[in-house]
Amino acid sequence: MENTLAGPQQQKLSHERWELILRGVDAAPWDWDLLTGEVYLSPTWWNMLGYVNAELPATSGLMASFFHPEDAAAIDHTFTTALQGGGETWRTECRMRHKQGHYVPVLLQAYIQRNTQGQAIRLSGTNTDQTEREKSEATLRESEARFRALTELSSDWYWEQDEHFRFTVLGGKVYNSTGFTMDQHLGKTRWEIPCLNLGEADWEAHRKILNAHAAFRDLEIRRPDTGTTVHWASVSGSPMFDADGQFCGYHGIGRDISIQKQADEEIHRLAFYDALTGLPNRRLLLEQLKRALHTNARHHRHGALLFIDLDNFKTLNDTLGHDVGDLLLQQVGQRLSDCVREADTVARLGGDEFVLVLEDLESDRHAAALQADSVGKKILANLNEPYDLVGREHHSSPSMGITLFDAHSSSVDDLLKQADLAMYQAKAAGRNTLRFFDVSMQTELESWVAMEFDLRDGLQGGEELVLFFQPTVGAQGQITGAEALVRWLQPTRGLVMPENFIALAESTGLIVPLGRWVMNMACEQLATWAQSPTTAHLSLAVNVSARELREPGFVPGVLKFLQLWKVPPNLLRIELTESVLAHRVDDIVGKMNELKAHGVGFSLDDFGTGYSSLSYLKQLPLDLLKIDRSFVRDVLNDPNDAAIARTIVALGTTLGLSVVAEGVETQAQRDFLASIGCFAYQGFLFGSPVPIEEFGRFLAPRGDAH
Ligand code: C2E
Ligand code: CA
Ligand code: CA
């Protein structure tokens, strides 16, 4: 009952619903019963073609009569294939004639109803006016064409990338400006294409921007040159997001800036380089020098400034003319560049004045001076070679002033003044020579150079070296061993003490053969002592510089001498200073452990004066600490030194190390040291260093027993 009552009511509702829905959409419904030929065309269907509702009788042939004659065949074709193909839908696009004579683009879509035999019995569908859509499509096509025409004309290009920043679209003259074709771009990211000016770090920074989906502007990229063409591009881009706000890539423009870049370079060249020689000019020099001062300060290295002035250049200019003078300056510039490393700077200040900046010299001032001196000498020799000036052989010489700089150096201007001043001293000294700004350095340098020469000479067979021995004594004054101390007996200089040549030997590397000589002599002495029961227990301490320990061959060298002389390794004690801690500690510790495994002992010399870091101290496999003689000297008068001595003894006890006091000169010093727990000594009180022939007197029984 309910159903029969609700039937017509529901039908009305459904009808109403459809009426309302259809008013809102621009699709015009129609319905065609193929069996009866009955056709229903909705009011909107009529409106689309300019008619009012049912102005013409709705017959089955009516719809077809509106088709554009040119479209009729195509429509017919889709219609029959849809019907005979057994499909459920028919869809076609066509033009239909408007009442006013023009044609309306229409999209025709229909559902095909079939009977149980599969035969089409009814078509229900809609017509949609396509005028607006076609118009907007045409506008889009036009704007694209217009855009393409523009990018073809301009030097800019358009690009797009996907969400992984790989190129997907490129429009315009991209090849001209990058040297890479579109194909070479497509599928690649920007950083996968060869580039000359941006490194991994730059690209990393760029990727940060991209990953943040931020826009970027004027990224300048230099692509590899092709032939003589330089490729510089400037690109800007912004992120793209799809309708859902999802990031979907980047797009942007690129611009050829090769010509600007070349112009910039030219301007830079004119502003910072000397036109005649192509060398940096004063302006660039000052800049470089400022930078060099800064980096050297950071790396604790020395640098040197060399001021060079050609001797008698004015005469050449006056007699042979400026053109010939220019030729000489060019050749001098070239030779100077050839004399230095790439990192160094050669500049022309103007006239016949040149300046060189040497960077990254040794951190030791003397060593740095030696380096600068050797470069200076090389330049002197080089500039003294004859020149070929338009077929005429010419001789020229320079005068040179050198000044060193480091972290504490004053201003760039001061340095130039110093080098200039030194150059005048070189002129005053008769020209064709070099002078250091620092007079004491000059003399010192000269004596060093001479001494290095002598030392090299003296080391050849070792006959100028002499080993002295200073006794070490225990609590009861008994001799426990000795320290080997080297002397240099030079024919003209006499007996040279270590403090006057060890540093030089270290900075020149001569310490390595010297140390080997000492180690051999020490082992030989231990072998001699081993033969007599009165001396067989004596140990021998040998000083080893950090420089020697760093040598790869150090450990095998020591082991070789021990075996050669058949010496018990536990009688050899190597003395190191805290300066070994300044370099790779792990390497040092490794070497010490290796020797220690064979029984060799280690002392830390001059303790308390150096780098002393307790954490390092714990790492080093030591046996003994030596209280430096500077503390022992004033141990009775200076409470500070007494406190230090006390601390060292306590430290030794804590770390399980023996403690020796060196430089003990008086009985009072010895007694004080004993009172704080130090029972091993070395010093003039017990004996000065002596040649081995004299060492025997320390071994005689002491007469003070009674
Ligand atoms: P060092 O290892 O501290 O040697 C102790 C220095 O103190 C020696 O000076 C010694 O003559 C001096 N001396 C000893 N007793 C006294 C004293 O009671 N009072 C005073 N005022 N001085 C005393 P020397 O022989 O001139 O050696 C100086 C430095 O040269 C040594 O200091 C050591 O660092 C180095 N050296 C000596 N021989 C060698 C060597 O064969 N190789 C290496 N690498 N360095 C060496
Ligand atoms: Ca020593
Ligand atoms: Ca010492």
Is any atom of ligand 1 closer than 6 Å to the C-beta of 499?
yes
SS (H, E, C) 22-73: HHHCCEEEEEEECCCCCEEECHHHHHHCCCCCCCCCCCCCHHHHCECHHHHH
pLDDT in tens, 59-77: 778 888 899 999 999 999 9
CA of 485 to the centre of ligand 1 (A): 6
Predicted confidence (pLDDT) at residue 612 exceeds the cutoff of 60 = no
Q: Distance (Å, rounded) from C-alpha 585 to C-alpha 583?
A: 6
1 falls in which pLDDT band (50, 70, 90)?
A: very low
Q: Give the model's pLDDT for residue 705.
A: 38
Instruction: Give me ligand 3 centre to Cα 662, in Å.
Output: 7
Report how far residue 536's alpha carbon sits from residue 120's, in angstroms, rounded to the nearest whole number: 125
**CA angle 301–302–303, rounded 5-degree value:** 125
State CA 567 to chain mean position distance.
Answer: 50
Q: Is the CB of 442 under 6 A from ligand 1?
A: no
- Answer yes or no: is the C-beta of 296 below 6 A from any ligand 1 atom: no
Coil, helix or strand for 573?
Answer: strand
Strands 89-97 and 465-473: unpaired
669 lines ligand 1 (CB under 6 A): no
Mean pLDDT, the chain, whole residue set: 89
Instruction: Find out whether the beta carbon of 544 lies less than 6 Å from any atom of ligand 1.
Output: yes
Taking CA atoms only, the protein residue closest to ligand 1 atom 3 is: 606
Could you give the CA distance from residue 427 to residue 429 in angstroms, rounded to a whole number?
5
Q: What is the Å distance from ligand 2's center to 465 Cα?
A: 17
Assign 706 a pLDDT band (cuts: 50, 70, 90): very low
pLDDT digits (tens, 9 = 90+) for 440-497: 767 776 787 788 889 888 887 778 999 999 999 999 999 999 999 999 999 898 999 9
Interval between CA 543 and ligand 2 midpoint (Å): 5
Using a 10 angstrom Cβ sphere, with 0-12 exposed, 13-18 middle and 19 or more buried, the burial of residue 81 is: exposed
Q: For residues 567 and 1, which has the higher predicted lDDT (pLDDT)?
A: 567
Q: Residue 143: which residues within 8 A CB-CB, separation 6 or more?
A: none
- pTM over 0.75? The answer is no
- Torsion, CA 137, CA 139, CA 143, CA 146, rounded to 10: 110
Q: Which atom of ligand 1 is nearest to the CA of 498?
A: 30
Which residue's CA is minimally distant from atom 25 of ligand 1? 485
Give the closest residue to 57 by CA, choosing from 79, 40, 33, 74.
40
CB 625 within 8 A of CB 604: yes
605 lines ligand 1 (CB under 6 A): yes
Q: pLDDT per residue over 163-209, tens digit each? A: 999 999 988 888 877 888 888 999 999 999 999 999 999 999 999 99
402-415 confidence digits (pLDDT tens) = 999 987 776 888 88
Q: Residues near 281 by Cβ (< 8 Å), separated by ≥ 6?
A: 272, 273, 274, 347, 348, 349, 350
What six digits make up the tokens of 172? 């315009």
Those residues whose C-beta lies under 8 Å from the C-beta of residue 309, and which sit 6 or more positions away, are 352, 353, 354, 398, 399, 400, 423, 427
d(CA 241, CA 248): 5
- Ranges 316-320, 592-596, 625-629: which has the least confidence: 316-320
Give the pLDDT band (50/70/90) at residue 582: low
Q: Which of 485, 525, 545, 579 to mutate to test the pocket of ligand 1 (most atoms within 8 A of CB)?
A: 485
Residue 587 pLDDT > 70 = yes
* 460 alpha carbon – ligand 2 mean position (Å): 25
Return the pLDDT at 248: 94
Q: Is the CB of 42 under 6 A from ligand 1?
A: no
* Cα 614 to ligand 2 centre (Å): 21
C-alpha separations of 134 from 105, 129, 131 in Å: 8, 10, 5
632 lines ligand 1 (CB under 6 A): no
pLDDT digits (tens, 9 = 90+) for 287-335: 989 888 888 777 778 999 999 999 989 888 888 888 999 999 999 999 9
Tokens 């009674």 found at = 706
pLDDT digits (tens, 9 = 90+) for 542-551: 999 988 998 9
Can you list the positions of beta strands (E) in 390-547? 392-394, 398-405, 434-436, 465-473, 479-490, 494-496, 539-543
- Residue 518 Cβ inside 6 Å of ligand 1? The answer reads yes
CB 497 less than 6 A from any atom of ligand 1? yes
Mean pLDDT, residues 71-93 taken together: 89
Phi-psi region of 477 (alpha: psi -120 to 50; beta: other; left: phi over 0): left
Which residue spans within 56-138 are E strands per DSSP?
Answer: 89-97, 103-114, 120-129
| 382-404 per-position pLDDT tens digit | 999 999 998 889 999 999 999 99
What is the percent of the chain where pLDDT is above 70?
96
Does residue 237 have its Cβ closer than 6 Å to ligand 1?
A: no
Ligand 1 near 495 CB (within 6 A): no
Query: Which of 543, 633, 664, 670 has the most ligand 1 atoms within 8 A of CB, as the residue to mutate?
Result: 543
Q: Rounded to whole angstroms, how far apart are CA atoms 292 and 280? A: 15
Q: Tell me whether strands 479-490 and 690-691 are parallel, antiparallel or unpaired.
A: unpaired
| pLDDT (tens digit per residue) in 658-679 | 999 999 999 999 999 999 999 9
Q: How far, in Å, is the centroid of ligand 1 from the Cα of 529? A: 22
186 lines ligand 1 (CB under 6 A): no
Beta bridge partners of 124: 31, 111
Terminal CA-CA length for the chain: 148
CB atoms within 10 A of CB 257: 21
Give the residue, out of 464, 634, 662, with the most ligand 1 atoms within 8 A of its beta carbon, to mutate for a pocket test: 662
Q: Whole-angstrom Cα distance, residue 641 to residue 97? A: 117
Note whether 58 and 34 are within 8 A (CB): no
- Interval 117-166: pLDDT, tens: 889 999 999 999 998 888 888 888 888 877 777 666 676 888 999 999 99
Confidence band of 6 (pLDDT split at 50, 70, 90): low
- With 60 as the cut, is the pLDDT of residue 517 above it? yes
pLDDT in tens, 261-289: 888 888 888 889 999 999 999 999 999 89
- pLDDT of 613 strictly over 70: no
Q: Is the CB of 684 under 6 A from ligand 1?
A: yes
| Ligand (nearest to CA of 689) | 1
CA distance 488 to 121: 125
Answer for the pair 308, 378: CB distance below 8 angstroms, yes or no: no
**pLDDT for the residue numbered 438:** 81
Q: What is the pLDDT of residue 701?
A: 60
Task: Work out the percent of the chain whose per-residue pLDDT is above 90.
Answer: 56
Relative to the alpha carbon of 630, which ligand is closest? 1
The answer, yes or no, to whether any atom of ligand 1 lies below 6 A from the CB of 502, is yes
Determine the distance separating the centroid of ligand 3 and the alpha carbon of 651, expressed in angstroms: 18
Query: With the C-alpha atoms ordered 569, 575, 581, 584, is the resulting torsion angle positive or negative?
Result: negative
Judged against a pLDDT cut of 50, whether residue 619 lies above it is answered with yes
